[in-house]
Amino acid sequence: MKERPLPDQYPAQRSWQSPEAAAKYRGTRTPSSDHRYFREEAIVNAWLDDLPHDALVLDVPCGTGRLVRTIISRGFRYLGADISEAMIAEASQQANSPLVQGFIHADAAKLPLEDNEVDCVIIWRLLHHVRDSTIRQAILREAARVTRSKVLLSFHHPISFTFFRKFFRRAFLGKGHGTEFTQWRLRREARQCGLRLLETKGFRKYISINWFACLGKAQPAVASGEHPSRGHS
């Protein structure tokens, strides 16, 4: 099946491009203003535990850098990427550690990185903005390509009480452009992109719309008669 080309612009790309919007976004993503901050941080930390001590973690989109401290406090190296230069400018203000490798101006669906270049990719608070499954799978496919180990992501789940409020705002008030999908759909889409769903977590599953997933990089199929490599002697 021939893949459809990705649109040059979609809502998640157009948002937060101005310095004013980026500064406002950063103000709403602090521990004092975001009641989910520490709960999300705990989920991320639990899934980072098995990474090597000098792991390189790609945060895309990095936004204004809310995960910088979380990553470098573990002794991991941090690399941020975002489609918004204004967001990167805000995030760079927290980049005063040698563990911060820098920031890349890039679309999550078209990463300028080599295959297997990072140990983990974090895709936080993005996929619920992406209604087009073609774009979502392009993002997942790129994450699978550049990671050596795993992909962590957040998404919105439709089987939840808070879903109905968001649906009403979109359907009847014309506010918002987000989307929701189940863990079963995520599993199918991830599998098509070379990832396997390992675990999901939530604050209150089926009550809160906010869900989180840990995906592992699928191992390539071994041809008949061959054995998986066990290293070189």
CATH number at 175 reads 3.40.50.150
Dihedral of alpha carbons 119, 38, 131, 14, sign:
negative
Residue 201 has pLDDT above 90, yes or no: yes
pLDDT at 153 over 90: yes
* Tokens standing for residue 93: 């203000």
Residue 226 belongs to a domain: no
Domain that holds residue 121: 12-217
How many domains is the chain built from? 1
Contact call for residues 137 and 144 (beta carbons, < 8 A): no
136, two tokens: 């979502």
Q: Could you give the dihedral angle defined by the CA atoms of residues 116, 56, 137 and 22, in that order, rounded to the nearest 10 degrees?
A: -150
Q: Does 229 map to a domain?
A: no
Inside any domain, residue 148: yes
Q: Is the residue at 122 inside a domain?
A: yes
Please tell me the least confidently modeled range out of 26-30, 161-165, 185-189, 196-200: 161-165
Residue 128 lies in a domain: yes
62 lies in some domain: yes
| 197 lies in some domain | yes
pLDDT at 103 over 90: yes
Whether residue 47 contacts residue 95, with contact meaning beta carbons closer than 8 Å, is answered with: no
Q: Do the bridges between strand 147-156 and strand 210-217 make them parallel or antiparallel, or are there none, so unpaired?
A: antiparallel
CA distance 113 to 123: 15
Take residue 45 and report the two structure tokens written for it. 């930390």
Q: How many CB atoms are located within 10 Å of the residue 208 CB?
A: 17
**How many percent of the chain have pLDDT more than 90?**
61
- Assigned domain for 233 exists: no
Percentage of residues in the chain having pLDDT higher than 70: 79
Residue written as token pair 């679309």: 107
The whole-angstrom separation of Cα 32 and Cα 114 is 37
Query: Between 203 and 89, whose confidence is greater?
Result: 89
